[in-house]
Amino acid sequence: MPKVPDDPASRFFKYYGRYLIAKEQKESDLIWLNAVACRVELRKMGDPTEEAQHCHNIFKGLASQQRAEQIYRDLCDDSRPIP
């Protein structure tokens, strides 16, 4: 069984990769599950009220601020409870 990375940023990227694959395959349950997991890891990075800032910090140098904000909004939308 693969070892889970020890730090929230590494786990975030692991779950975010799974999230992107689930989005591509239109697997709604997996999209939700991985979006929730991403947000949990963002909360572990510090003050839970600053999830958006933590997301921006993770993507700094990899994506524009606008793209990081969109990624966070998508995670929020996709982590809402499934009806």
Q: What are the domain boundaries of the chain?
A: 8-78
pLDDT top residue among 25 and 81: 25
- Asked whether the predicted pLDDT for residue 83 surpasses 70, the reply is no
Question: Which pLDDT does position 19 carry in this prediction?
Answer: 98
Distance CA 38, CA 15 (A): 6
- Asked whether the predicted pLDDT for residue 3 surpasses 80, the reply is no
Distance CA 17, CA 70 (A): 16
Question: Which pLDDT does position 48 carry in this prediction?
Answer: 84
Whole-model pTM?
0.88
